[in-house]
Amino acid sequence: MKKTRRQRGFTLLEIMIALTIFAVISTLAWQILDGAMRTSSVTDASAAKLNQLQRAWSLMERDFFQLQARAPRNEPELFRQEGDALELTTLNGVSGTVQLERVRWRLEEGRLYRDVWPVIDGPADVKPDEVPIVSGVKSLQWRFYRQGWLTAWHDAAHLPDGVEVTLTMESGDTWRWVFTTPGDMPEVAAAAAPAPSPETRP
């Protein structure tokens, strides 16, 4: 008659070893997942910041390329700088039409704003629409080109030929852009007088 072998269960030591291995594998898996999530978050944040900077560059390029020698009715200066704020007149193309637009670039509480007035010749107490463009900005610096680079602009009657902007981010990154402008557009020359008809000789 055959004897039945009794099944031997796991010992306490084997169970402890299995639990330890499972804990190590779980910890490694969590670290890999957490690292992937952190990398994804950093990538998303970097992409969002880059989109903000690209938008700022595009708007500035348009503003300076279409810079206009036109001051508002209640403001004598064509192009005004106050600290890190810069106010100017440019063109917009909303709804397929081209209109004059008064804008102001400025830095406030770590954000780069582009303020836009609803009309260029409105009352003096009309407030602009404040549009945040880039966040996480530490400093904003301007330079202006007119027969050489200037760190400040004080000429109320003229426009610079070029503008340099430097954005220093809270992350430590620095972005430097240089834009050309139309400058002072030359006056249209008077039409030349018609040449006298040649005299006829007999």
Measured distance CA(66)–CA(108) in Å, rounded: 25
Confidence band for 3, pLDDT divided at 50, 70 and 90:
low
151 and 168 in contact (C-beta within 8 Å)? Answer: no
| Terminal-residue alpha carbon distance, the chain | 156
Question: pLDDT tens for residues 151-191?
Answer: 999 998 899 999 999 999 999 999 999 999 999 764 333 33
Neighbours of 146 (CB within 10 A): 16
- Give the predicted TM-score (pTM) of the model: 0.70
Question: pLDDT tens for residues 104-154?
Answer: 999 999 999 999 999 888 887 889 999 999 999 999 999 999 999 999 999
Q: Where are the domains of the chain?
A: 50-180
- Residue 185: both structure tokens together: 């557009």
**pLDDT averaged over every residue in the chain:** 83
